[in-house]
Structure 1
Amino acid sequence: MDNLTVALDAMSGDFGPRVAVPAALQALTQHPNLHILLVGNPTEIESLLSQKENSKSSDILSRLTIIESTSVITHDAKLSVAIRHSQGSSMRIALELVKSKKAQACVSAGNTGALMGLAKLLIKPLPDIDRPALMAVLPALNQGKTVILDLGANAECDSNMLVQFAVMGSIMAENILGIESPRVALLNIGEEEVKGLDSIRAAAATLRAHHKINYIGYLEGNELLTGKTDVLVCDGFVGNVTLKTVEGLIEIFLSSLRLTITRKSWWMRILGIWLQRRVSKNFGHLDPQQYNGACLLGLQGTVIKSHGSANQKAFVAAIEQAIQSIEKNIPDRIAMSLSLALPKSDNS
């Protein structure tokens, strides 16, 4: 089994090393071939490691290396300022480790715009790709899965970008999910061909004529988790709002069940426990913590964006996304497929 090396931006996100360090140790425990480069403040990281040291074997700790950083890009930093002052930051150093081939992937819970900008600057987009897109694999009904992009990297997208996202999403669904001729749809405000922005209708016309893409038309937001499509394409503004709305609703639903279990009435507690078991069995795969981690698709290397508010379980899921991308050799697979899959008119 080949060794894997992942660089973790340990300082970004709402909780920084308090989540990144235990998540790194858990991932190392689960993957004997994994090496982690933990980028951050050595004093903070070593303090957290010392609290876990007695319960961790020397083998696990030997596969963890601390890389010092001197600053953190804040979540509210403007893009131009963040990039201009990024030298020495945990995010930039983690990306530089991928650029220099010392790591095969980077995972960060930091500022999305800064991560996108620095990744484009350091790792570079693939040929034929205008701008990378944030992509995640979301659960659907009947244990299905749907590739959705963009989830926030590009607030505004023209028709060419939407077509590129559709092609990359189709490649991902075929190679990661094993779906032959995956169904591709555009997220829109209606199913009629005349609905939507000019960019969406222009992308639809291109995809409709594209013989390598199994384009099925428009889907509305209420069909996101129904499994009606294997790939759902939208601009980053719509995708980010849609994703966070769905996650919020799921979390409210799960929290309501937990509240029911804590009620004093014995029959309410029993009912709550029964409901939670039923829900966990039928809908547990919808828990947002289980699919945290969006891949910045279209780069020459692997970059995974974790939720800023991710807890340990969710951050481990983001590391798992990075491992899967490395093992499946996703950037190279996309690069090999793009020149054949993209419409010639888009590349002229």
Structure 2
Amino acid sequence: MNPKNMDNMTQREKFQLLNSEVRSFYEYCKEVGMSDDDMDVICRPLMHAVRRATIKRWRNIFLICAVFVIFGYIVCQTDTFQWNAAAVGRLTLIKLLPFWNWTPLYYNKCIVERLPLQNFNSEPVSTNDCIACEAIQNIARISKTDHNEVLNHHLLRGAPVIVNDAYHDWATGEYNLTGLVSNDDRLRESVPCRILTNIRIGKQPMDLQEIVSRITESNIPSWFIHFQNCDLRAVKTFRVLAPRPYFLSPEIPPSHFNWLLLSKNYDTQRFKYLEFDIGLIIMTQLKGKNYIQLKPRMPCENICSPIKIELQQSETLVLSNSLWEFEYMPGKGENLAMITETDWVES
């Protein structure tokens, strides 16, 4: 076969030519009386070459796939890719709203309900549990404390406690909420789970950047807003506002949700109810003051007395809310408080 003609042949034609030549060689070997073992010896170098070529081809395919996977993983870890992917995902979900209302799934804490919560709801607080709070009339204010005093002297008997120096090693100052949100691309896109405000908030859901913009750009002389962060990135970022108190034991895990309570010149006599998971609740008054009302849960409402607290700046309220429902009312002037929710079982 002329090599020039080979260059003009298609891949299929080359394969057919090679196949015919191999068949011709096989028939020739049979005609001269060669056995299968003899032909195996003669063709062994060719078979080895074919195997090596096959192994090399699959090795190259594996290496190319590995390179693409590694490259894709590196790209996916960059802030630019994650920000753009999140933006595209959010826009896609917003476009889907007319056809599929996915917001209930978004606001749910779990797609599948957790059995411990169901068990707690199906087995409400009994009157025997009310013994822990029947004699509590006021809340102690303590300082220079430790985990043992907070836990054994107060929480384990159902009593909330206020720590005056929870952040004694933390310098007080102005809280630049706008800067905190604006300096973190992922935080700006975070959407709070629960929000309540007297400011017109428009179409839900709103991300943190839009919420902060409404607060800072609003000309309303009197306003309040509170919202819950359930996005892990937002929860971690807002922990810088109120670091872990010094008296907490290392065995207590980090908070899984947190809340921000903000208000300015909001004069009201109505308390705002906040729904928490059952566990350890820590409220830190970062600026101004808030009025707290702890109401006994059923069936303890006729056995235990409600507790009213005025939480001043730099004070920290610590309680286990298994027996108490939580309400707050903003004080006058500018106020900022943070609340953390932590999984914790009294033992």
Q: Max radius of gyration: which structure?
A: 2
TM-score (norm 1): 0.22
- Higher helix residue share: 1
